[in-house]
Amino acid sequence: MNISKVSEIYDLSADTLRYYERIGLIPQVHRTHGGIRSYNDEDLKWIDFVKCMRGAGLPIEVLVDYIKLFEQGDTTLRERKELLLEQRHMLADKIQAMQETLGRLDHKIKGCDGRLLEIENDLTKSVNVSGVANGSAIMKNV
């Protein structure tokens, strides 16, 4: 599969894919006789992994370290696991902080809803028997 198709599938620019290859985030991609990159299934798995991890906020440097360890084989399993556990812990902390922020936002939104209800009630109370509020005609029960 060529770079433009991979770019389309993963919603990554061709420049980003080249950059990822250049810095070692994805293995060197096989090239045709004409020098055109030809991505195989294994390359696509790496791209998918990197995109997922980057989307979660993992730093490029950490991913490069992980991939270097991976390329060294099973003797680095413990190191890879430690690296992944550390990143998982950091991600869990970020998620908790975001959940707390969501709670605060929800509280503020409810406060706005409460205030809007007060304003609507005040408007309803200000409507006199003739249906006129503040000098302008309004429709009741709209």
Which two structure tokens, joined as six digits, stand for 111? 């406060």
Q: Is the pLDDT of residue 136 over 60?
A: no
The strand pairing partners of 136, in sequence order, are: 133
Q: Round to whole Å and give the CA distance between 119 and 142.
A: 16
Percent of the chain with pLDDT over 90: 76
Regarding predicted confidence, which is higher, 81 or 119?
A: 81
| pLDDT of amino acid 134 | 54
Average pLDDT value for residue range 81-96: 97
Give residue-wise pLDDT tens across range 98-135.
999 999 999 999 988 888 888 888 888 776 444 555 55
Which contacts (CB < 8 Å, 24+ apart) does range 55-61 have?
Answer: 56/91, 57/91, 57/94, 58/87, 58/91, 60/23, 60/25
Q: Is 73 left (phi over 0), alpha (psi -120 to 50) or beta?
A: left
pTM here is 0.70
